[in-house]
């Protein structure tokens, strides 16, 4: 019996000691500090910087970090309702003239250009010798008065690509301010497709023109989204494949993405590798590409997914 009393006393004493330590540590302790005397090459400042970097890395697991046109950084919660991509971008191959993604079986993705009247006259025979596809601008709406215009080189580009058997899609640069204007833009595209055969979708290009007098400057997220949906829904209702093009700031801060991601996405990010969390069908990775047959710089793209 005495043995048990002694043992009980020891337990109680240990518990009191631990409680006292806990009170001292949590209630009376000083702010956390870390000695770096045994960590040569590190200082508290360096450890703080590493911690901040680690924090941002973990943030990327839950948030899209986007900087707006005024320089303000926003953290946008990643949606659980949009499928994340599962690509391993260590498989990107930069050894050739054009970036590509190499699958586990050694196969490679299709690469292509997108062009407009800004590229001038194009030698499509030379382009077709290097590229798997081309996306050609059909037209645009002006960001000031909102006039809809057919691209000056649309017809010659479509005919030139077709003559070489190069698969094509078309895109329209939108500055619609409402659902109805989005519908108007879509109907303009449909009316000007002619008899050209498309192997790639009709693509809606929405961007912030970054000028003070743009007609889209004061739109809300809902209005930007509705303007996009007016185009996308009209093209789909016409039985045509359709896709949305934009970049991190616009996708993250201007749109209700769960609605837009009902459609395939073309994502632009000029970087060694993209860090967009969601799936995207195509990646525009540079605006400074060089392709025989095209004078001056041109956008280059990798088709990351099969198109529906």
How many CB atoms are closer than 10 A to CB 277?
16
b/e code 125-157 from CB counts within 10 Å (16+ = b):
eebbebbbbbbbbbbbbebeeeebeebebbeeb
pTM, two decimals, is 0.83
Strand, helix or coil for residue 257 = helix
Count CA within 13 A, CB hemisphere, residue 217.
10
Strands 202-206 and 282-289: unpaired
Count CA within 13 A, CB hemisphere, residue 3.
0
| Cα torsion 85, 86, 88, 92: sign | negative
Q: Give the CA diameter of the chain.
A: 104
Q: Is the pLDDT of residue 249 over 50?
A: yes
Question: Which has the closest alpha carbon to 124: 78, 87, 162?
Answer: 162
Question: Which has the closest alpha carbon to 265: 307, 229, 212, 299?
Answer: 307
Q: In angstroms, rounded to a whole number, what is the distance separating the alpha carbons of residues 108 and 111?
A: 9
Please give the average per-residue pLDDT across 49-63, as a whole number.
77
Q: Are 82 and 258 in contact (CB under 8 A)?
A: yes
Q: What pLDDT shows up at residue 16?
A: 42
Q: What pLDDT shows up at residue 19?
A: 46
The string of pLDDT tens digits covering residues 185-233 is 999 999 999 999 999 999 999 999 999 999 999 999 999 999 999 999 9
Please give the average per-residue pLDDT across 48-61, as a whole number.
75
Which H or E element spans position 248? helix 248-254
Q: Is the pLDDT of residue 180 over 70?
A: yes
């Amino acid at each position: 019996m005495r043995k048990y009393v002694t043992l009980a006393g020891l337990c109680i004493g240990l518990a009191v000691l631990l409680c006292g330590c806990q009170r001292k540590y949590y209630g009376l302790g000083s702010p956390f500090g870390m000695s770096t005397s045994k960590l040569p090459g590190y200082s508290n400042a360096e450890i703080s910087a590493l911690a901040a970097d680690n924090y941002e890395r973990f943030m990327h697991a839950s948030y899209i970090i986007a900087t707006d046109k005024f320089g303000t950084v926003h953290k946008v919660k990643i949606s659980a309702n949009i499928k994340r991509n599962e690509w391993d971008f260590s498989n990107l191959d930069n050894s050739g003239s054009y970036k590509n993604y190499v699958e586990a079986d050694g196969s490679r993705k299709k690469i292509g250009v997108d062009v407009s009247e800004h590229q001038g006259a194009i030698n499509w025979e030379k382009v077709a010798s290097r590229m798997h596809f081309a996306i050609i601008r059909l037209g645009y709406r002006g960001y000031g008065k909102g006039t809809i215009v057919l691209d000056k080189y649309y017809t010659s580009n479509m005919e030139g690509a077709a003559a070489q058997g190069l698969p094509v899609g078309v895109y329209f640069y939108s500055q619609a301010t409402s659902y109805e204007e989005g519908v108007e833009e879509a109907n303009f595209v449909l009316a000007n497709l002619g008899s050209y055969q498309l192997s790639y979708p009709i693509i809606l290009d929405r961007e912030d023109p970054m000028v003070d007098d743009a007609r889209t400057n004061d739109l809300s997220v809902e209005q930007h989204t509705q303007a996009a949906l007016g185009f996308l829904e009209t093209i789909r209702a016409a039985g045509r494949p359709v896709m949305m093009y934009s970049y991190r700031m616009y996708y993250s801060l201007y749109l209700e993405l769960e609605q837009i991601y009902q459609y395939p996405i073309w994502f632009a990010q000029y970087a060694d590798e993209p860090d967009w969390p969601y799936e995207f069908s195509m990646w525009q990775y540079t605006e400074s590409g060089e392709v025989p047959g095209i004078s001056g710089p041109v956008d280059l793209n990798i088709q990351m997914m099969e198109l529906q």
